[in-house]
Amino acid sequence: MSTKRISAAVRHLPRSRKGGLVAGALALGLAGALSAQTVVPGQFAFADPVRVESAAPQSFAAVVAGVKPAVVSVRVRSDSTPRMMSSRGGGMPGFEDLPQDHPLHRFFRRFGGEPFGGERGDGGGQRREEPRRYGTSQGSGFFITGDGYLVTNEHVVSGGSEFTVITDNGDEYEAKLIGADKRTDLALLKIEGESDFTYVEFAPDAPQVGEWVVAVGNPFGLGGSVTAGIVSARGRDIGAGPYDDFIQIDAPVNRGNSGGPAFNVKGQVIGVNAAIFSPSGGNVGIAFAIPASTAQTIVADLKNDGTVVRGWLGVQIQPVSKDIAESIGLDKAKGAIVAEAQGDSPALKAGIRSGDTILKVDGETIDSPRDLARKIAGYPPETTVTLDVWRDGREQAIEVKLGRLQEEARAAAVEPTGENTAFVDSLGVELASAKSVGAGDKGVVVTDISGDSAAAEKGLKRGDVILEVAGQQVDEPGDVAGAVLGASESGRKAVLMRVQSGNATRFVAVPVAKG
């Protein structure tokens, strides 16, 4: 009601009610002034609360009607290894090994069956190969082109010899495997001779946490099932592979949904459903989808030649903890620290060395080792990239020409032997020269360690080989003690050690006492 209408209404009321209504109008006016952050003398001004318009759709029916014909069930047939069986076994391998008084023997004798073949009681028979057996599994997938290319998970098609695609209307087609990438759990299938399939597109932008998501797939072999929820989180690392960057959703996803799409409300694919977290094996509201950006890149490579080629830097890396950051002079824990540059790797040839902390790749900030791995893998081999590294207390740029990703070489395990040890009280560790105990030509071996020491809390253990302390190579226990003392006298809260544990090399920041 406007101010003029309020005044007019007041004139027609008795005097006793006019006062109350005017007071109420003044109160409303004051509240409005306060909500608009107008400061009234002697009063407090309050900021407006956050108000967001709801974007909840009234129905997902239109989205589902548009995308559902593009979603398929994928049936995979795999050969099992033939087994040897006896002609006496009646299809039950190992039956002939049962004792004669076993209940199964009495069962067949009583009911006239002949589990052993031949005449009753002959006990004969020959060993023969069991007929080939086949296993069948099912998953989901979706068309990305009208001529029959479709995406699914690598773990859905793994080990398969025959692939059958069942569309939403029940039509069945034989498909061939174009290629699969185990590292990202993606695979590409193709139906030959058809060109009129309904297909969907990948979303150009990453979804935001809280956005609606619709999952369509083949849970438990039911086919064509639709569920809805929201994007719960992004950037999830679930330990599935070196490039984990999953979208977490709470749309109900179950066994058989693997390889199926997760859509936004525009009908675009934001991710490929790949895994669930579930103690029971069924949906508990936590599912993980491979981002559309990852799927697009991998599918393009698979479509090109059936393989995925990635850039290779050739370094062992680890996260930069607060202790490590402090020990090397970084203002905050960021980037990925190089534990070791592998032999004959692009990194080693470019001058990257242990202790370097990689902060950026071609100007893009590196948040973690996994982030670095994803960025490097996104480049094709022979690409030259610029790495911003932290070395000797300052940042510098190094150009590296990437190689092709290959399996990492494994170093020999190191175990301490012999005597000639010395105890470093400041660390709570007993050390011996690697040479003196036959554990190699470099470093100092941890032959014993106090369970309540700071070194033990940071993960050092018996058998580890300390290669460097505070950037200096160490070959004797005294080298370690001296470097720790130097770090303490310089005011460092921790000293950085490069440690070899079995096949891996890593950095450990061990706290030290001042002075």
Tokens in use for 268? 């675009």
Q: Which of 73, 137, 181, 185 is an active site residue? A: 185
User: What type of residue sits at position 446?
Assistant: V
* Dihedral over alpha carbons 353, 359, 363, 369 (to 10 degrees): 90
Residue 356: its H or E element: none
| Pick from 296, 254, 297, 258: nearest CA to 274 | 258
Q: What angle do CA 106, 108, 111 make, to 5 degrees?
A: 105
Q: How far apart are the first and last CA of the chain?
A: 76
Single-letter code of the amino acid located at 68: K
The catalytic position among 137, 258, 345, 436 is 258
Sign of the alpha-carbon torsion through 326, 327, 329, 335? negative
Q: Say how far residue 230 (Cα) sits from the centre of its chain.
A: 19
Dump the DSSP string for 74-114. EEEEEEPPP-EEETTSTT-TTGGGS-TTSHHHHHHHHHT--
Contact 401, 346 (CB under 8 A): yes
CB atoms within 10 A of CB 363: 8
Q: Which of 73, 86, 155, 436 is flagged as catalytic?
A: 155
Whether the CA torsion 167, 172, 176, 180 is positive or negative: it is: positive
Cα–Cα distances in angstroms (integers) from residue 393 to residues 362, 390, 471, in the given order: 21, 7, 12
Would residue 155 show up in a list of annotated catalytic residues for this protein? yes
Q: Could you list the active site residues?
A: 155, 185, 258
